[in-house]
A = this chain, B = another copy of it.
Amino acid sequence: MNRGIIVVSIKDISVRCGVSVATVSKALNDHSDIAQITKENIRRTAREMGYFPNSSARALKTNRTYNLGVLFVDEAQSGLTHEYFARVLENFKVEAERNGYDITFISKNTRSKMSYYEHSKYRGVDGVVIACIDFNNPDVIELIHGELPVVTIDHVFDNRTAIISDNVKGMRDLITYIYEMGHRRIAFIYGDESSVTQNRVGSYYKTLGELGISVPDTYVKKGIYHDTETTARLTRELLNLDDRPTCIIFPDDFSCIGGMNAIKEYGLRIPDDISIAGYDGILLSQVLEPKLTTLQQDTVALGRSAAEKLIALIENPKANVIERVVVEGKVLKGNSVKNLNIK
């Protein structure tokens, strides 16, 4: 039962100070009906005795755990391993902690058969952030329609606050830059099915359309995020085209590596013979040779505002405003896109 861990409770303090537990509690929580001198005495004693509140007891009484659930995919190798999401999570965590919240992973616990929603209720998290997951999963839908505060990242549900990276503007900016560098034959290998992908693909067509460029179907290929092999294969297909593109945009920075390998193997140089661009702006992209031109997503803003909005939802339940926070990225101008204008 008692696992040998010495733990001082409010009771111990009350005995030492000769007051009731109620007084101790109120002193510690700075209620107005306790004399200043009493408060100080109690607080000093608490500090001396090494008191820290018992979060379980507090949670039981107040129905607040100051714990946030995070739902990141746990299946495949994605999730934590994906630098983009790892950074978003990291920044989410920082902002949450700054506000006194801790982070607990929510998962479909295979042992207890709890769904995400059930798990969240079981742990009593005050709210949940969802990212990097199959948003069509019935378990996710259950959570979305449940009663807990929820914010989603990079996906929009109409009844929930969402933090989204501006993939439309991102793609537009990236393409505009490439266009300004003189490119007209711009191919795009995009990633798996998702709203993120839809936005990027849509923006790709729209932007090029506005620039007066029509895109041959052969220039647009469905790939897989983070998958170097698929990207390499599709890149080869593009290189074999009669009217080979002068620039290829890859699903993301990591998969770029597959594309780069395919290009080198083909005997072409980057960017002299062909230009490329990535997406995400992860650390890797900036250490590759040549340094990638890519769209850097603002993982700090994404993680931070997800935490901010979630906490706002929790602490101000009546407002309960559904918001859309759109976070802009920026073009990182590396050396992988050649300037065709110069001579």
Contact = CB atoms under 8 A, between A and B. Distances in A.
Contacts of A288: 257, 261
A1 B63 contact: yes
Contacts of A53: 122
A4 B147 CA distance: 8
A100 B254 CA distance: 34
A29 interface: no
Nearest to A124: B56
B80 A147 contact: no
Contacts of A20: none
B111 A94 contact: no
A228 to B, nearest CB: 4
A36 interface: no
Interface stretch (A85-93, A199-207, A238-246): A85-93
Nearest to A290: B261
B102 A103 contact: no
Contact of A317 (B4, B81, B109, B284): B4
A54 B125 CA distance: 11
A154 to B, nearest CB: 18
Interface residues of A, number: 68
A191 interface: no
B89 A148 contact: no
Interface in A32-87: 50, 52-57, 59-60, 62-65, 67, 74, 77, 79-81, 83, 86-87
Nearest to A108: B97
A191 to B, nearest CB: 16
Nearest to A286: B228
21 contacts: A3-B63, A3-B64, A3-B317, A4-B147, A52-B121, A53-B122, A54-B60, A56-B124, A74-B94, A80-B86, A80-B87, A80-B89, A81-B83, A81-B86, A81-B87, A86-B86, A93-B107, A97-B110, A261-B287, A261-B289, A284-B284
